[in-house]
Amino acid sequence: MTPDDSKQNWRRSATLVLGVAWAADPWRTALAFFALAAQVVIAALFAYWLKLLIDAIAVSDGRAAVLGACGVVGSIAGTSVFASWGSRVLAGLSGRLRYWLNRRILEISGNLPTIDLHETPEHLTQLEALRRQQYQLYQAVPRLIALLASVIRMVTMGVLLAGVTPALLALPLFGIPALLVSPWTGGLFRAGEERTAEPARRAEHLLELTATAGAAKEIRLFRIAGELRSRFHAEHRRIRRIHHRLQLRAAGIGVVSRCFFVIGYVGAVALVVSLAAEGRATVGDAVLTATLAGQVLALVTGSAETLQLTVQSLVAAGRLLYVVDLERSVRDGVVATAEPPKALEHGIRLKGVSYHYPGTDHPVLHGVDLWLPAGQTVAIVGDNGAGKSTLVKILAGMYRPSSGAVLFDGIAVGAMDPAEFRRHLSACFQDHARFEFLVRETVGIGDLSALADPSRRDVAVERALDSAGASDLLPGLASGLDTQLGPRWPGGVDLSGGQWQKLSLARAMMRFGPLLLLLDEPASAIDAEAEHDLFRRWAVASRQAAARNGGVTVLVSHRLSTVRMADLVVVLDKGRVAEAGTHDDLIRHGGLYAEMYRLQSSSYR
């Protein structure tokens, strides 16, 4: 799915932004339109008042001369008043639109049930272009209004010129070639955006690397600053080359199309001058034609430019439409036919689960069949890249299996409402987020209902910190739970990698008695002994919780001394289940796990 040029899509894009503008600020939208329309009509009438004045002077008509003079002065003053008022209203409207459109983007990307949007190159290209073209998006409504005002101006001028001689109505037609090529150059612009999206993303990644403390160390250690700089230059050279070629083509098209108008302008003035010489037009008509013909030139070139800018804005709106449609198609694809179970009686089954990442055809998981009995703690082990984190994300419903299904007590996850389903889960992911909020909030957002209740939130957060082995963090923080995290914020503190990980773990512990607790290397940044100790406590706690609702805890860890405490150990190898059983069974079996365990134990001796 890519944004297309079809008429229907242009119309839908325009309707989308106008709908957002109306929802955001109906008064400003209406006032902006009124101010611009008034401005262009008054500006066009200037030529009429001038003609009246000149003709009145020619026939010594004092009253008509005064009226004409007042009209001339009034249209000059009116044009400038409405222009400055209109631009202020438009600026205010753009600000409101900026907020509303960003809010819509945030809503869509945050509410999609799966995380495909963030990992599919095709979707990323659209999102990236949308982010970079935000200005175009905010300007969509002002430009659409300006375009409409141009049409009104064209009609007003058409009526005035037809009053001199209907033949002058042909004058704006000479501007049509300039108008016609505008969407074409808009298409060039879009192609440029798409072609530069990837090099721009690469350049941004290089910039980000230089701004992160982690990369800063390695950049110095491996002395790769020069290498990064030359890669950055190379990406920008690619971007410049693409833009340069497109600008040249757009400029060429523009010059050729405007030549037609110059021919029409010269012809129109020559026609009225010859009519005046024959006595079939007045001197005022000649002045009106010369003035309006000049305005038509500005109007046509201005309209062509406004149309081109509008097209650019509608291209950006088309990308928003793409994301809106994506959200709709994902939502329509979700048909919740079953409620998640309140408690697990039997367990969780993975039935022939295969998965390949979007944009690749290489499966990362191959027909995984697994049975995770209710109330058990399950450890997943395997080499790097074996597919453990992918399996965890599938269990969390973040990815839909390419084939196969995950069933909770026989109910397929795909049949449940994703938001409802996730209310029964908790997780600490390997690539956990660093929410730079107050400590209380960074942990407490794991259970928004507890966080919203002042009488129990601190107790709940402290309990979660304790379960995550993170209580030792608080005494070191000047304002305890009220400490702002993140060095970018006033009074904010930064934490070590291990401390951030502990907070992420505490966030996962906020939810009481989930049906599935997923812990993907939750303690990889802390020492083995502390992890061992933590897992022993969780195993006891989850057995107690499991006695109530049959919840399953899944732990991914490379530390087999911790893993051995689990009720069930699953060994993944290249996306397949190689072995599954208790630690003792697997050691007796003498397979892959026994070999991994032997190697790890010997390295600790």
Ligand X SMILES: Nc1ncnc2c1ncn2[C@@H]1O[C@H](COP(=O)(O)OP(=O)(O)OP(=O)(O)O)[C@@H](O)[C@H]1O
Residues that bind ligand X (CB under 6 A): 119, 357, 360, 364, 382, 384-390, 430
Q: Least distance to ligand X from the beta carbon of 175, Å?
A: 51
Q: Least distance to ligand X from the beta carbon of 505, Å?
A: 16
Read off the amino acid at residue 337. T
Nearest to ligand X of 483, 504 (CB atom): 504
Nearest to ligand X of 150, 557 (CB atom): 557
Q: What are the two backbone dihedrals, phi and then psi, of residue 469, each rounded to the nearest 5 degrees?
A: 65, 30
Nearest to ligand X of 8, 384 (CB atom): 384
CA distance 299 to 291: 12
Q: Least distance to ligand X from the beta carbon of 538, Å?
A: 20
Are 294 and 171 spatial neighbours (Cβ–Cβ below 8 Å)?
no
Q: Least distance to ligand X from the beta carbon of 240, Å?
A: 30
CA distances to 303, 318, 382, 403, 595 from 330, rounded to whole Å, are: 39, 18, 32, 17, 44
SS3 assignment, position 348: strand
Q: Least distance to ligand X from the beta carbon of 21, Å?
A: 37
Nearest to ligand X of 19, 359 (CB atom): 359
Nearest to ligand X of 306, 501 (CB atom): 501
CA distance 319 to 22: 20
Are 424 and 515 spatial neighbours (Cβ–Cβ below 8 Å)?
yes
Q: Least distance to ligand X from the beta carbon of 387, Å?
A: 5
Nearest to ligand X of 121, 491 (CB atom): 121
CA distances to 42, 47, 69, 457 from 156, rounded to whole Å, are: 9, 11, 20, 66
The two tokens of residue 367 are 């027909």
CA distances to 98, 138, 595 from 33, rounded to whole Å, are: 18, 16, 75
Strand 403-408 to strand 411-412: parallel, antiparallel, or no bridges (unpaired)?
A: antiparallel
Nearest to ligand X of 385, 476 (CB atom): 385
Backbone CA torsion sign across 384, 388, 390, 393: negative
Q: Least distance to ligand X from the beta carbon of 393, Å?
A: 8
Indicate the helix (H) or strand (E) that contains 355. strand 347-355
Q: Least distance to ligand X from the beta carbon of 431, Å?
A: 9
Nearest by Cα to 40 from 306, 257, 267, 260: 306
Q: Least distance to ligand X from the beta carbon of 363, Å?
A: 9
Strands of the 425-428 sheet, one edge to the other: 425-428, 516-520, 552-556, 377-382, 568-573, 576-581
Nearest to ligand X of 102, 524 (CB atom): 524
Nearest to ligand X of 271, 386 (CB atom): 386
CA distance 555 to 362: 26
The two tokens of residue 552 are 């399953």
Q: Which residues contact 563 (CB under 8 A, 6 or more apart)?
A: 379, 381, 555, 557, 569, 583
Q: Least distance to ligand X from the beta carbon of 384, Å?
A: 3
Question: What's the start-to-end Cα distance of the chain, in Å?
Answer: 57
Nearest to ligand X of 550, 575 (CB atom): 575
